[in-house]
A and B are shown apart, each in its own frame.
Chain A
Amino acid sequence: ETGVTQTPRHLVMGMTNKKSLKCEQHLGHNAMYWYKQSAKKPLELMFVYNFKEQTENNSVPSRFSPECPNSSHLFLHLHTLQPEDSALYLCASSRPTGWENTEAFFGQGTRLTVV
């Protein structure tokens, strides 16, 4: 148990569906991340939030829409996805840079399949 909880663990959705991934942490961290992990690619950073503000959008298509209502919760809203978006989506949190320990704590991930 890392202290970072992601739901759902598995999701199958059609290309016309709208769904949301949820991430929650109660570690007191102020930085939260979304990563995409595909079978043939490394961990790809998608979005970074610091103190609820989006500080990084790594050229992610607009069919992925993040939301961070507070420092403990992070969402990834999905709509009109493509089959190539099927992957493991990982949420992580950490202390902000400048602190002594900035290791990322990952959730278990959501295995997404787009059909």
Chain B
Amino acid sequence: GQQVMQIPQYQHVQEGEDFTTYCNSSTTLSNIQWYKQRPGGHPVFLIQLVKSGEVKKQKRLTFQFGEAKKNSSLHITATQTTDVGTYFCAGFSGGYNKLIFGAGTRLAVHP
């Protein structure tokens, strides 16, 4: 079945440094979604990318969908302590509404 792989598993940065997490799928995705889970919280939807090569920005967050629609990245510029949490990518597998999540990247930001 489809697998969604995400790296790194964990990264800690100094406040103000940049951060990037990468997501790779074993199959072509119709779209890719990104979620953020704060410590002790539940995953919250951030964005969905649909088109090949699509780039979307949300303030300091930049999301990119690969040309082959098999990989994606999330880049955070000048991290802040509020960015702490685990970032997940997710894609639909072959089954109807089978939303598969990557393992997540846990981000720690030191002031």
Contacts and interface: CB of A to CB of B under 8 A. Distances in A.
Interface of A: 2, 31, 33, 35, 42-43, 45, 48, 50, 55-56, 90, 92, 94, 96-97, 101-109
A55 B99 CA distance: 12
Contact of B48 (A35, A48, A103, A105): A103
B45 A55 contact: no
Given A42-B103, A102-B92, A103-B48, A97 B97 contact: yes
Identify which of B42, B45, B48, B96 gathers the most chain A CB atoms within 10 Å of its CB: B42
Interface string B80-102: 00000000101010011111111
A69 B31 CA distance: 30
B48 A106 contact: no
Interface of B: 30-31, 33, 35, 41-45, 48, 88, 90, 92, 95-104
A2 B98 CA distance: 20
B68 to A, nearest CB: 20
Contacts of A94: 97, 99
Identify which of A48, A56, A90, A103 gathers the most chain B CB atoms within 10 Å of its CB: A103
B85 to A, nearest CB: 14
